Structure 1
Amino acid sequence: MRRGWRGAVAVLATGALLGTGTAASAAGPGARETTAWRNGELRVDTAGVVSRSDFVLKSPAWRPYQSMPVGNGTLGAALWAEDGFTAQFNRADTFPDLKSAGQLTVPGLQPLMRARDYRGRLRLHEGDLVQQGGGMSARGYVRADRDQFVLEVTGADPDRVQTADLRLWDGRSPTAHARGAVAALAETFEDEASGSLTGAVAALTADGRDVTAKIVDDKTVRLTFKPRRDGTFRIVTGVPAHTGGDLGEAAAKALRGASDGDRAHRAWWHRFWDGAAPMRITSRDGVGEYMEQLRAQQLYMTAATMRSAVPSSHGGVINMFSPWRDEVHWSADHWWHFNLRQPVYTNFGADTEEFNEPYFRLYLDRLEEMRDWTRTHWKDAEGVCVAEFLRYDGTAEACDGERPPDWLNRIVTTGPEVVHNLWLQYRYTGDREILDEAYPLMRDVARFYLSILEEGDDGKLHLHNVNAMETQWDATDPAPDLAAMRVIFPMIATQADRRGDRGLARELRAALPKIPDFRTVTRNGERVIAWSATDEEAHNTQNPDTEPLFPWGLYGRDSELMQSTFRNRVFVNTREWAEDALLAARLGLSGEMRSLLVQGTEDFQIFPNGFGSHSVDDDPTEMTNYYNGWNAVVGSSLQESLVQSYEGVVRVASAWPKGWDVAGSVQVEGGHRVSTQVRDGAPNLVGVEAGSDGTLAIANPWPGHRVRVVDGDTGRGRPVVRPTGDEVIRFRVEDGRSYVLERADRPYSSFRFDGVDGKPATDVRRLGDRTLGVE
């Protein structure tokens, strides 16, 4: 069941640039005695809270690395002020090289950009960039309901001729078109390896007077027009997929509905934010607010890029928002699974798990191709090896048993992790159809492992000549694989039984007790989990020894072995994908979690739009790609710190940093949304909106105090659990009902209502040398 950010006051900031967006408040004296829980939910002014994380532009984004992102999930645009106004359009499906559909330039916006009173704002709640200055305004957005970019301008001189150019660059060979009020460029791309054909058309028109289109050269088309008499004009660029045919017809189709208003666009973004779990953080030093904005940017980015048939991120690079023409780091036609795991996990806690669909489609839709590859390239193996490095056509070069191990070849834990995430998607949504579609992949991943395990003299089943992630090559019994088999074997066995696949179920259950124990070694005088059963050198900086903690959840905060393994991990926050802060949150290390978030942000978040780089000390002026992994780490770490449930017990504020107050919600397995407010280090109440029938276990958020559970609709209803001093409180929940966990000596009825509100950001946020927004 989906729940949203239910607002006490529905404020939609659809008008002025800076908006209002604050909710009415009934706050009274004694802030510790207030709660935003009312009538079975956390009452949040969604528009107001989201607007706190808007990106403020105190100066135009003159340079490409300052560009602001807008998108609809399949089409993305980077917007900046070069040549008056520039927008680069990128689709998620122009394989094999993900080439851009072109750049739009509008020189007539120079007076706005150079005005002394310039101000701008990337509005996350509205999914648009608005700019004002010199009596002019410009609003740019990619429509949520169509693959069209819209630029709306007011305050222009009605008698001044305007131009809008759509251009490509050297190395490109588009077909150009101009007729009447429509200009277009189109290009297709054939992949020799697979025979596939992709491409895009960019079609341009304007709503103004005397609109005329012409071809400037073989890579540029232009519109010439005058604004309407009231000084307004509207430019629309349609950028759908295109694989050939009559370009005039394709351009006309791309611009269908171009005169429509933005009602559907606004409605889509409002629904998205209404459905996402809210989080408002306040701190004296502003660090908490900075992290709140990074999480909001991650959710915004997810909604703006993840509605295509495949994930938009390659190797951590988010190409859909690139302003750097056709530059793409790494391999544009491949995905590294390790760079996909962070956004997927963030979506679970944020209640945005529907945006995991492209990730699952990537693997489910290519199952047959991966089977064929495995049969051909891994001798005597059965089932399917899911490659860590997978091409869009299903080619799985990293699964080759005949080729020596390297950076990616013979990492075989990708299949179990995809299977595990499919299982979690079911656990969070309750949708059994997910399991039905996923079972063939689950079955084949299990068969692959069973076929490559070798029984040793010790009676255990061992893995030989496989990688411990990218860190150790040609290892035996890597810790990630041992953890993965412990988790997925019993789960797949249960699914096999339900489908009459008794033989597989028996094999998996028989193999389970034969999985070797984790090898341990001594590091810095402490006993820790080893990367594997062998001692190959390190090639990369992932920590295979922490994988049993995340993503596999085999250890918790009470495990001294896991605590010491974390303390003595070899690599700390080395890349933008480093999950150290998330691990610290799982282990209840609030101070460590906070310091790791700050360190990672200062190291990696180098762009004013919130995106990051791959390595420490990268110069944003020299980079040509945006990375999105770090903000997913921030989002999941904050969620895990506020509410976690990976051991089957919900823990509230168990790793929340001291000095940060928060009001927020996190989704846990079962589809339950758990809400709380933490002030001065302690939660006030814990509210639960049940997403399914079942039993919920919550650790006492107030150790040493007696607690009880009551009906959540009023807080004065039937008692569910009478006062108890138990460390873990267990109670039955019913789908659609709500519950409140409270201290027995501080009942919900004694709290004064004060809804969670917010006001639009007014300044650029800063953290050391980092900024969110343009100075």
Structure 2
Amino acid sequence: MRISRRGLLGGAAAGAVFGALPATANAEQGLSQDDLHWADFLGAQDMVWQRIPRAWYEGPFLGNGFLAAALYKEPGANAIRITVDHSQVQDHRPQFGNEWGVARLAVGKLLLKPKAQITGVDLRLHLYDAELNGRILTDKGEIGLKLFVHATTDLLVLEVDGDCEVEFQPAEALSPRTIRENPPANFPRNPPAVTKTERDITIVNQPMIAGGPTATAYRTRGRTLLLSVAHKKDAEAAVRQAVKFAGPERLLRQQHQQWWHAFYQRSFLSIPDSLLQSFYWIQLYKLASASRETGPIMATTGPWIEPTPWPSLWNNLNVQLEYWPAYGSNHLELDPIPRTIKDTQRILIDALRPQFRGDSMGVRRSTDAQFDDAGFVGAPGFSSPDPEIGDLPWILHNVWLNYRHSMDERIRDEVLVPTLRKAMNYYLHFLSVGMDGRLHLAPTFSPEYGTAPDCNYDLALIRWSCRTLLELTADDPLAPKWREVLDKLVDYPVDQNGFMIGTGVPFAKSHRHYSHMLAVYPLYLVNGEQPERRELIERSLDHWISFEGALRGYSFTGASSISAGLGKGDDALKYLREFVARFAQANTMYFEAGPVIETPLSGAQSLHDMLCQSWGGVLRIFPALPASWRDAALQDFRTEGAFLVTASKKDGRTQFVRVRSLAGQPLKLRPGIEGPLQVRGARSWRQLPDGTLEIDLERGGEVLVHGPSPDLGIGPVPISTPAPRWGLPALPDGGQTVIVDLAAALNNDAITSEFHMGDGDFDGAGNTYPAAQLPQTGQTTDDGIPFEFVNGSEGTPNNVIPAAQTITLPPGNYMTLHLLAASDNGNTNRSMTITYADGTSQVPLQITDWRTSPAFGETEALRTSQMHARTGPQPVRLSIFHQKIPLDPAKQLVSITLPGAATPRPHLFAITLEKPK
């Protein structure tokens, strides 16, 4: 895909600007941007599945911001599950809190039940068309499959071609937090769903004790099933009409594809790293599948509901990170935060204790999509154990980002200013002058770490709030107070390791959240362009990220963005790659005890920060590209000030930067172009000593900045770092190793998260491995042998305890059976049965205790520095071992039979078979 010269500078401006360029640069630059080229480019980013996905974080997912679906194997059955969810479906009893009373609720599932035995899949999620196509493979043939969720209508369209029953099963309208605990004793359950049939339409009505109801309707037309879901007063009538009057599949697909094609073409980004380029475009697909400006703010799971302890919104990081990629990618139509803030002003007032409601607003830490929940926002001095009071200002930073990227005065005047004014008023209640004459903040809570006076999380938000209000409404009656706060507010507490949590509270333990560094990112109040602050940022970042144990995915995307802000592209790439290697799942999803959607989306923002930054009123082009990225391309990247940026870097040299103004704001540009510059299309411009260009550009105007003889073409850059596709590739069968799928045999949970250490039990005493210290991808290699194990969400079985069961193995001739295993309550020294095609053999099963050093010649494949006990983490070193069991390569292997139950118990996490050399 190469965008034409006219695409770079449209209309009359194109002729005026390009007419003056040298002939070599004025030549035609390539083909126009058309559907065929976009289909080719995005087709290279598609996810594919040549193995059956076992869970939501492995399989394909679809959605339209409201209706959503995900596909994976139905546990324990010869069936494929397609989940059916809707982002508006929730409980409506806030008196029971966000975990139960206003939790998101599952709708149900479609089960695809072939008559024959499922043996595999061959599926492809076409990003450009937002459609899943492929085959379900069985021992008696193939079943064709096509699936899409209509982009603008709550309609799921499923086409099944083959001998396969399709059945819809409604889910109980109960919070998915049941994965962790039972509902409160006084919590009445919603009534069961009621199903009825009207001619060829089946309607499932889910009544609710409060709110709702939820209705699902479906019908079949030939090989096609149409399904719709609604959650509102007239839900049944809405879904009946949706499936009854749906147009022909051809027209539905055409409407659907038109929306998605237009969506993608609003911006363009290309980098030479195949893995991360595909990851980026999958995140845009994910965001558009999960959110719309007119819909609810995404819950932590997105619209896809699975068993999770996080069934609502979390407003102290998750909501904010979810929407950052929407701004630079030019997709403000996906951001519902400004509208939601405007619509929930009364709820934001009532979230506070009565004595603060006269002049203030706040948001509770976790809520439903309307910010509703039980209880009050914390208040220092009011018996609040963790007074977390800065979450509303941080959400308003997203509103500010939307405003700055759109320059929409309605957002400024109707949402941002009035709400931020009252959020700042809440802070004023807890600021007081100390003995040093400085304003100090009473003890508040730094998200997920602890409480401290002069908490850096809040000091950063106070400074940002006052500065922003003064910029937007300097003649406000409260302006003198905001200036006083800025003049007198205490400095950020720091020590020899950098930013502290607050006064007297150092950063001294592993912590996934960068709340104490909010002034650095994303607020940029303290930044790398302040020479006196740069070393502080570097020291703080190094200290924070050095504490292993509780670091999670967004720790590394945050470290990547902070590094990008320092201009350290190689470090930014290192941290982003660390996130991908350790945490990104097969389909780019992510979990922390349960599904959470924000971290991969924040990884897309890390890429934005590497390619274009626009904080502090300055546009920075390619500010943090890694040295290995010699090429990069952007088109219509949206920035603060409502500018659209198009830029190209080729062979290590920035060719040109084009900026189009949507709002007539002052333009300051650091183009990153070496040598003398030519600036075409501006009314006037000047270059500052630091190289920044100040350009006078009217609304609708465009400027082109370039050096000598620029190449003005834009298109996909050459891939220098290739990678396999996302999804599940076929297990290697022609190489030396074959990974065994143990999913059907798993019967024990030995891995727990730091959030809840009580759901697993490795040793019979409730002790487990810490999930955060094991590869979350479930992949590891030891001594050249690859293993795949399960490090899943809470309550997920992840190992096999022997109980005389037989495990069928891929038939073939093998020389070694490799185990990823550990023993509990002592070393295991027993035997197991190897079954070959012509007989059996007994072999030793010798596995070392998880707390000790190898006793039987194993290697330590995985190690942790902690053990999770029911009472908390303990400083106990644990191992999972790699044991090798010789096989007879002259015989065809069939199965293994494990010994009977006994103590000590071996735990098998993974099996890999090695072929003869």
Q: Same fold (TM over 0.5)?
A: yes
Partner of 1:292: 277
Partner of 2:454: 477
- 1:491 deviates by 2.4
Distance change in 2, residues 1:311/1:597 (3 Å): farther
Structure 2: unaligned runs, 5 residues or longer: 6-23, 92-102, 175-190, 730-774, 780-787, 789-917
Say if 2:300 is the partner of 1:328: no
Distance change in 2, residues 1:125/1:762 (3 Å): farther
Distance change in 2, residues 1:40/1:460 (3 Å): farther
> Residue type of the partner of 1:92?
S
- 1:689 deviates by 2.5
> Residue type of the partner of 1:455?
V
- 1:419 deviates by 2.6
Paired with 2:351 and 2:726, the residues of 1 have a C-alpha distance of: 50
Q: Is the 8 A contact 1:36 1:43 kept in 2?
A: no
- 1:596 deviates by 0.5
Say if 2:634 is the partner of 1:664: yes
1:38-437 maps to which residues of 2 (within 5 A)? 45-61=37-53, 64-80=56-72, 82=74, 83-96=78-91, 97-108=103-114, 114=119, 119-132=122-135, 137-154=144-161, 156=162, 163-168=165-170, 173-190=192-209, 196-208=210-222, 233-243=223-233, 249=237, 252-260=240-248, 261=251, 262-275=253-266, 277-282=267-272, 288-307=273-292, 311=296, 313-314=298-299, 316-318=300-302, 320-322=303-305, 324=306, 327-330=307-310, 332-357=311-336, 359-376=337-354, 382-391=359-368, 392=370, 394-395=372-373, 397=375, 399-401=377-379, 403-406=382-385, 409-437=386-414
Partner of 1:737: 701
Distance change in 2, residues 1:496/1:649 (3 Å): closer
Q: Is the 8 A contact 1:184 1:203 kept in 2?
A: yes
- 1:583 deviates by 0.7
Q: Is the 8 A contact 1:42 1:675 kept in 2?
A: no
Match of 1:457 among 416, 420, 435: 435
Q: Which deviations, in whole Å up to 9, do the C-alpha atoms of 1:384-404 show, x marking residues without a partner?
A: 233333344623636132654
Is the partner of 1:337 in helix, strand or coil? Answer: coil
Paired with 1:42 and 1:671, the residues of 2 have a C-alpha distance of: 23
Q: Is the 8 A contact 1:472 1:538 kept in 2?
A: no
- 1:304 deviates by 0.9
> Residue type of the partner of 2:309?
H
Paired with 1:764 and 1:554, the residues of 2 have a C-alpha distance of: 37
Q: Is the 8 A contact 1:69 1:76 kept in 2?
A: yes
> Residue type of the partner of 1:253?
Q
Q: Is the 8 A contact 2:638 2:645 kept in 1?
A: yes
> Residue type of the partner of 2:169?
R
1:534-683 maps to which residues of 2 (within 5 A)? 534-535=504-505, 540-558=511-529, 559-569=534-544, 571=547, 574-578=551-555, 579-606=558-585, 608-614=586-592, 625-660=594-629, 661-665=631-635, 666-683=637-654
- 1:662 deviates by 2.1
Is the partner of 1:549 in helix, strand or coil? Answer: coil
In terms of Rg, which structure is larger? 2
Partner of 1:513: 487
Q: Is the 8 A contact 2:501 2:507 kept in 1?
A: no
Q: Is the 8 A contact 1:8 1:755 kept in 2?
A: no
Q: Is the 8 A contact 2:560 2:573 kept in 1?
A: yes
Q: Is the 8 A contact 1:472 1:536 kept in 2?
A: no
Paired with 1:37 and 1:385, the residues of 2 have a C-alpha distance of: 56
- 1:135 deviates by 7.0
Distance change in 2, residues 1:730/1:534 (3 Å): same
Paired with 2:457 and 2:383, the residues of 1 have a C-alpha distance of: 20
Q: Is the 8 A contact 2:582 2:776 kept in 1?
A: no
- 1:81 deviates by 5.2
- 1:346 deviates by 1.8
Distance change in 2, residues 1:34/1:52 (3 Å): farther
Paired with 2:205 and 2:293, the residues of 1 have a C-alpha distance of: 20
Paired with 1:110 and 1:259, the residues of 2 have a C-alpha distance of: 33
Partner of 1:17: none
Q: Between Structure 1 and Structure 2, how many residues are aligned?
A: 663
Q: Is the 8 A contact 1:556 1:562 kept in 2?
A: yes
Q: RMSD over aligned Cα, in angstroms?
A: 3.7
Partner of 2:185: none
Partner of 1:708: 678
> Residue type of the partner of 1:307?
R
Structure-2-length-normalised TM-score: 0.66
Q: Which deviations, in whole Å up to 9, do the C-alpha atoms of 1:432-453 show, x marking residues without a partner?
A: 1111221321221121122221
Distance change in 2, residues 1:198/1:592 (3 Å): same
> Residue type of the partner of 2:470?
A
Partner of 1:531: 501
Structure-1-length-normalised TM-score: 0.77
- 1:765 deviates by 7.0
Paired with 1:432 and 1:110, the residues of 2 have a C-alpha distance of: 61
Q: Which deviations, in whole Å up to 9, do the C-alpha atoms of 1:395-435 show, x marking residues without a partner?
A: 363613265444xx312221222233222211111211111
Q: Is the 8 A contact 2:196 2:204 kept in 1?
A: yes
Paired with 1:305 and 1:649, the residues of 2 have a C-alpha distance of: 31
Paired with 1:581 and 1:726, the residues of 2 have a C-alpha distance of: 25
Paired with 1:38 and 1:726, the residues of 2 have a C-alpha distance of: 32
Q: Is the 8 A contact 1:494 1:505 kept in 2?
A: no
Q: Which deviations, in whole Å up to 9, do the C-alpha atoms of 1:454-498 show, x marking residues without a partner?
A: 12222222111211232231x111122222222221322354456
Q: Which deviations, in whole Å up to 9, do the C-alpha atoms of 1:696-720 show, x marking residues without a partner?
A: 22225145x2223123xxxxxx896
Paired with 1:700 and 1:752, the residues of 2 have a C-alpha distance of: 15
Paired with 2:565 and 2:695, the residues of 1 have a C-alpha distance of: 23
Deviates more, 1:136-145 or 1:296-305: 136-145
Say if 2:730 is the partner of 1:747: no
Q: Which deviations, in whole Å up to 9, do the C-alpha atoms of 1:598-620 show, x marking residues without a partner?
A: 111122112x2110122xxxxxx
Paired with 2:32 and 2:523, the residues of 1 have a C-alpha distance of: 31
Paired with 2:776 and 2:445, the residues of 1 have a C-alpha distance of: 38
Deviates more, 1:589-598 or 1:573-582: 573-582
Q: Is the 8 A contact 1:700 1:726 kept in 2?
A: no
- 1:734 deviates by 2.5
Partner of 1:27: none
Query: With CA pairs under 8 Å and 6+ residues apart, which has the higher RCO, 1 or 2?
Result: 1
Q: Structure 1 vs Structure 2: percent identity of aligned residues?
A: 20
